[in-house]
Amino acid sequence: MLSQVATPDECLRCGACCAHFRVSFYWAEADFIDEHLVEPLTPVYSCMRGTNQAQPRCQALKGEIGKEVGCSIYAVRSSACKEVQVADEQCNKARLAHQLIPLIEINPADSENDHDYDQVS
């Protein structure tokens, strides 16, 4: 399967997770989010408005998926939003649903012999 290496700013282009999953969280987290962006789900859980639909899209998501996106409440986003990480299983599931190439994350290996040397910035 074709894939591409994830970049640190990949989420600024993607946004697929915000338009694929229902974003539900413990109701008390909604205290930090504008009330017009939250809807009750159960007595214990709330969700981001727009994500509890057959074709979900969080109303806090701005922009075009796969091109350029942003979250209007990024600093106070829910714990459910924070759980999805670039190139993880959930990320790639959402990307595939939006016909975007899955991502792979490559972590640079630590060198075993450079601990006694200054790093060049």
> What pLDDT was estimated at residue 7?
83
Question: Are 45 and 26 in contact, with CB atoms under 8 Å apart?
Answer: yes
pLDDT of residue 6: 85
94 pLDDT exceeds 90? yes
Q: What DSSP string describes the chain? A: ---EE--TTGGGT--GGGGTS--EEEGGGGGGS-GGGEEE-SSSEEEETTSSSSS---TTEEEETTTEEEETTGGG--HHHHH--TTSHHHHHHHHHTT---EE--PPPPPTT-TTSPPP-
CB 36, CB 49: distance < 8 Å: yes
Confidence of residue 105 (pLDDT cuts 50, 70, 90): confident
Which of 3-12, 35-44, 46-55, 58-67 shows the lowest per-residue confidence on average (mean pLDDT)? Answer: 3-12
